[in-house]
Structure 1
């Protein structure tokens, strides 16, 4: 079968203006909870898109670790490629692909570093192995073999076998403060439903977009 022949109909129902919450944060939480209740694999997985100093876009999948009207949280190595991009240009976009529900959410906004206290709280809540991995991996740097990474992990595991693991200075989180939200629901015959929320004068305006 040719790739161009692969297609399916979206039949799980449409999205109408009357179905939307006036507040996009509440609308997002509603859809996120439905994704969780549907037992979707990795419902908090999101694509984070950044742009480097040459204008080259990059995307990668990370996990959402907090959301609310103050923004959307994720954590990373502060020396990673994405962090370097954000240092140069803090405009980012987030994308949640909930294929099983025939839904997508796209968010644009600005990324801001979290405080040391916020970083400590989350780092301390992680499993010990995840804490060790954060220290062992200098994310995005070149390594000669996987064994180098595994050796560093085992070295750290022995070092901190009986003690608390300190938050590394090169690890932390970002809060993405949204400027826009787009909620997409698949529709029959490719007549998908798309609604865009944008801020205007202190409130959110909602516009329907053609598919």
Structure 2
């Protein structure tokens, strides 16, 4: 278990990375929302407008799936190179290697929390009321978080020994995306969203 000062280091570095990332662009924190939004627009245009395969509430379902997926994809992808990226600091002072993927996990968790809050607000404004299914939401998020932590730590530990895995990891994530229900959301009927978000 990490000592208290290492946990403080994880928190401080995650905070510093978030501020640094926001300061690098003129739109700052807005990119945390625009990134999944632009990703969603591509799928909406292709399947909803061009191929005309979207169903009623297609946009809401697409947003839900892509926000959750981008959390998973970004964390695992960013975490893959976290230990190699921290070599400079490790050469100067002793830092447990697990600190670096934990910083990535915390950083992307903060971004996801920000975007997820906006998503919930959008769903409420779109007419999807709070139903009984919301009681399961914390457990679902916890399960996904545990999965993300496990895979991120595993990939981060393997990449220093197998550097090529970093590139293979991105392709595997793409394969997983195309195998997921998000890609086939054009086949989902209105009842799927209504069953989750309507009382």
Classify the TM-score, shorter chain. Answer: under 0.3
Larger radius of gyration: 1
**TM-score normalised by L of structure 2:** 0.22
Q: Which has the higher helix share?
A: 2
Q: Return the TM-score normalized by structure 1.
A: 0.21
Question: Which structure's residues are more often strand, by fraction?
Answer: 1
